[in-house]
Amino acid sequence: MTHMHITAWALAIILFFVANSLYKGGKTKPAKITHMITRVLYLAIIGTGFALIGSSFGFYAVKLIVGIIVIGLMEMVLVRTSKGKSTGALWIAFVIAFVVVLYLGLSLPQGFKPFA
Ligand code: HEM
């Protein structure tokens, strides 16, 4: 399950950057399609995340919240970019939240444990 979780968020992050540059390049239609696929992947990230949580909810609450924040920021960056609005502060928040959730995910007991 950690492999499915990693696959889901890695794909989502890649498509997030693709959608972002398509919006930037004014290619609205392919950008919208990529953006929709990214949204489906959000559900896969959250679903596999919950499957990993199992029955120890309290222990995982922080990882869950920061993970949801990362997804929220991805969505806010893409929507604001599609409208031609500024995204500087959102990008900073996204990078910080992404690094935090990577660290949390990799420190927790299942899957890879490079920091343990
Ligand atoms: C884009 C957002 C997210 C990223 C980048 C991310 C990243 C990661 C990483 C790197 C791991 C470690 C995998 C391993 O060691 O094999 C992990 C595990 C995990 N993630 Fe996420 N995650 C995200 C969103 C979520 C969400 C939304 C949830 C909750 C619904 C969640 C719940 C979990 C759980 C429970 C684990 C297993 C932790 C453990 O016991 O080792 N993640 N995630």
Establish if 114 belongs to a structural domain.
Answer: no
| Paired tokens of 68 | 């949801």
112 has pLDDT over 80: yes
Ligand 1 site, residue 2, Cβ cutoff 6 A: yes
- pLDDT, residue 87, reads 96
Domain that holds residue 7: 2-107
Residue 113 lies in a domain: no
For residue 116, tell me if it sits in a domain: no
User: For the segment 50-104, what is each residue's pLDDT rounded down to a tens digit?
Assistant: 999 998 989 999 999 999 999 999 999 999 999 999 999 999 999 999 999 999 9
| Spatial separation of the C-alpha atoms in residues 41 and 11, rounded to whole Å | 8
pLDDT of residue 26: 95
Q: What is the pLDDT of residues 84-94, one digit of tens each?
A: 999 999 999 99
Q: Does any domain span residue 16?
A: yes
Q: What is the pLDDT of residues 34-43, one digit of tens each?
A: 999 999 999 9
Closest C-alpha to ligand 1, atom 17: 105
Distance between CA atoms of residues 92 and 34, nearest Å: 23
Segments of 1-116 assigned E as strands = none
The closest residue, in CA terms, to atom 31 on ligand 1 is 49
pLDDT at 116 over 80: no
Q: How many folded domains does the chain comprise?
A: 1
